[in-house]
Structure 1
Amino acid sequence: MDIEGVGIIESIGEEVRSLKEGDAVMSHFIGECPNCISEKSNLCFKYPLSFTTGYGAALKLADIDHNSTVAVLGLGGVGLGVVEGARERGAAKIIGINIHDKKEEKGKIFGVTDFINAKNSEDKSISKMVKEATGGLGVNYFFECTDVPDLMINQERDLGQ
């Protein structure tokens, strides 16, 4: 079962005080599995929510610094979660990287400030495109959210040079 329990609030009722239109929200399934019961994790065994995986990685595990630069390769559920977590941590620049232009608009809703279409690379590696997008400085955090082994191997090699 693959559930994307995430969305953007389109409207709110008169009594709602803690949320506003445009806020990103995600569902949490509390009390149905050992992780939920432990109150130490939102990784749910029963409902694998890819968004919360990325969100938690950016917000809690990587502990992204305020005003940092973040690149996210892959803007599916996990990648968009990373983007939202990076935005909430105060990242100054969030570079979304994907092979589909339609992901740019959705990425910007969650906090992407710059978009790179990896198919428009003109034979440049992703790491070279990221360096160009940052004026040669590179990024403080890089998240690979595609699960494509060739991309991971190529980026590791390029970043190591």
Structure 2
Amino acid sequence: MPSSELVMDNKNASSTAGKIIRCRAAISRIPGKPLVMEEIEVDPPKAGEVRIKILCTSLCHSDVTFWRSTQPPMAVFPRILGHEAVGVVESVGGGVEEVREGDLVLPVFQGDCGECRDCKSPKSNICSKFVNKDNQSMPRDGTNRFRDLKGEVIHNVLNVSSFTEYTVVDVTHVVKITPDIPLDIACLLSCGVSTGLGAAWKVAEVEEGSTVAIFGLGAVGLSVAEGARIRGATRIIGVDLNPEKFETGKKFGITDFINPATCGDKTVSQVSL
């Protein structure tokens, strides 16, 4: 079903607003051990929060890092991982005007209040008004919206927690998007695509006519290529051990490809020349 139809369907489904929702979630209980599918309870959103029905989510390596962690502050269990996702607003808490029921949204791990000095500055995107230092609870009051059926609190990760049918996210971590974007692509925008695009655009500040080398052509690497292309790079070199990625890379402006396994004793820079 197209995302636009899913959004329209949800506009007539507001019977759960203000109520606890029981749903399924993949819970990480022990570091490095398989996630466990369980029924959980998800509280209604409080003031400034949004409850979202997750439609599509993907796996970022940062989730794997949290999953493997055995030392504080990252090792907090049980918790619901996942932060690359797209979903439909099921209900909103008091004071939320930015989105409403039925809107298609991206939950994003980096908040933006739009009011503080850092959010207004083009030099930073680290919100200083709503600072979530522990990455395991809601940023405004430090509490959680998830419980298992025994009443045990289940912790958040990166302000999103998308490995669940429903999640609650602060409105400063929500971006409304057009329903025309395919869901499997939209879910990558909140982390992988923005990370790669930002690396080329904001960090490297690729200049027109540049030659750019990208190591690894996954979602982030391809997004770096797209960012470099938009910035005017004339030669974009993709470096990856998987030759199947090279054909895909052409669609993102990659002009040359290097498989390190075939380089012999030469360095990548020698091959690219």
- Out of 11, 20, 29, which is 2:106 matched to? 29
For 2:159 and 2:237, locate their aligned partners in 1 and report how far apart those are by CA, in whole Å: 32
Aligned with 1:89 (options 205, 228, 231): 231
| Residue 2 of structure 1: how far off its partner (Å) | 5.7
Tell me the alpha carbon deviations over residues 83-126 of structure 1, each in whole angstroms, 9 at most, x when there is no partner.
01000001010011100111101111111011111111122222
More strand by share: 2
Q: Residues 66 and 91 of structure 1 are in contact (CA less than 8 Å); yes or no, is this contact kept in structure 2?
A: yes
In structure 1, what is the Cα distance between the partners aligned to 2:211 and 2:251? Answer: 18
Asked which structure has the greater CA Rg, the reply is 2
User: What value does the CA root-mean-square deviation take over the aligned residues?
Assistant: 3.0
Q: How many equivalent residue pairs?
A: 108
Q: TM-score normalized by structure 2?
A: 0.35
- Any stretches of 5+ residues in structure 2 without a counterpart? 1-81, 87-103, 127-157, 161-189
- Whether 1:72 and 2:191 are equivalent positions in the alignment is no
Over 3 Å counting, the alpha-carbon distance change for 1:77 and 1:46 in structure 2 is: farther
Q: Note closer, same or farther for the CA distance 1:94–1:4 as it changes in structure 2 (3 Å cut).
A: farther
Is the aligned partner of 1:113 residue 2:255?
yes
Q: Which runs of 5+ in 1 are unaligned?
A: 6-26, 133-161
Q: Map residues 1-161 of structure 1 onto 2, 5 A cutoff.
A: 1=82, 3=84, 29=106, 35-38=111-114, 39=119, 41=125, 45-46=158-159, 49-130=191-272, 132=273
What TM-score do the two structures reach when normalised by structure 1? 0.56
Q: Tell me, yes or no, if the aligned pair for 2:85 and 2:106 is still in contact at 8 Å.
A: no
The one-letter amino acid of 1:77's match is: A
Indicate how the Cα distance of structure 1 residues 121 and 53 shifts in structure 2: closer, same or farther if over 3 A, else same.
same
Q: d(CA) in 1 for partners of 2:110 and 2:212?
A: 32
The change in CA–CA distance for 1:33 and 1:4 in structure 2 (over 3 A counts) is closer
Distance 1:4 1:117 in 2: 31
Q: State percent identity of aligned pairs.
A: 39
Q: Counterpart amino acid of 1:101?
A: P
Deviation at 1:49, TM superposition (A): 1.3
* Paired amino acid for 1:29: L
